Amino acid sequence: MINLLDISWCELEKMPRSETVFFQVIAPVEEHSHHLPLGTDLFLGEIWAKKAIKILEENKPKLNCIMMPILPVAAGSMKGFPGCLYQRAKDVRKVLYSVLQNLAQFGFQNIIVVASHGDPMHQISVEKACEMINSKYGEVAISPLGSIVFSGMRPTKGANLSTELDKMLQKYKFDFHAGWVETSMIMAEKPELIKSDIYSMPDIEVTDREMINPSVYLKKTAGWGHLGYPKLSDQKLGNELNNITSSDLAIVVDEFVEKKDCSMYKHHFLWKLPIFRILT
């Protein structure tokens, strides 16, 4: 893995355009209840990107995998909590477009945006930036997590889930924010960042329909900041979740670098609703 900040422009200029892959994590500084750090989404994006890079470098040693500086820029809706540093969706799109253009204008063909934050407005603003840059420079950028993580469109070649994880995901599927899923993933990689006793925390249950209305879920989570079941967190499941996500990401990146059809990985499932594209 190459850190962009460690190399000179001359070194970058010499890299083959078709064999150089940039990874751009973009996510918010955002509250994650009492027990998780404000940087949770940023940490997870970095973890997934670095694990995916490791897989790619083992399978394709000729690739130059470059880690970009993380962008703490995102649209979000967990209002009323100190520490949430949000931007307007249109501003997220503009900032990311500018970053992508700075790479694409020099002929780089593989830019992977790791949008590790599930808010639909964030995902769609990121995807829109990729669409705009691709319309100008060809298929050079993709943001696949809106599809493979937050919409469940995993690659057909992806690893099978363990029976235990599959049952948990089915039984506790409305675990939207700082619940057992995110807590387990942080527990697996950065256990020292768990801030409080998760086993005494309340379950805060919301449905997918209730998630459409911020006033409903913000009222339910008031004073806490999570939506889900932190007490069900498990380090082993977190490790599997991180590995599955990274492996799926690596599969999509490999297909994108090979210029295969990646259209199924381009969009969050709500992209099809015009109102989201208009607002971003």
Residue spans of beta strands (DSSP E) within 68-116: 111-114
Going from N- to C-terminal start, the domains of the chain cover 2-279
Residue 132 Ramachandran class (φ > 0 left, ψ -120 to 50 alpha, else beta): alpha
Helices 89-104/120-137 angle, 10° precision: 30
Q: 85 with 21: CB under 8 angstroms?
A: no
Q: Average pLDDT of 36-58? A: 98
pLDDT of the residue at 208: 86
Give the whole-angstrom CA distance, residue 224 versus residue 215. Answer: 15
Give tens-digit pLDDT for 176-204: 999 999 999 999 999 999 998 999 999 99
Instruction: Classify strands 64-67 and 2-3 as parallel, antiparallel or unpaired.
Output: parallel
Among candidate residues 203, 268, 241, the one with its CA nearest the CA of residue 44: 241
Give tens-digit pLDDT for 202-241: 999 999 889 888 999 999 999 999 999 999 999 999 999 9
pLDDT of the residue at 273: 87
Percent of the chain with pLDDT over 70: 100
pLDDT of the residue at 21: 98
The CATH class of the 2-279 domain is alpha beta
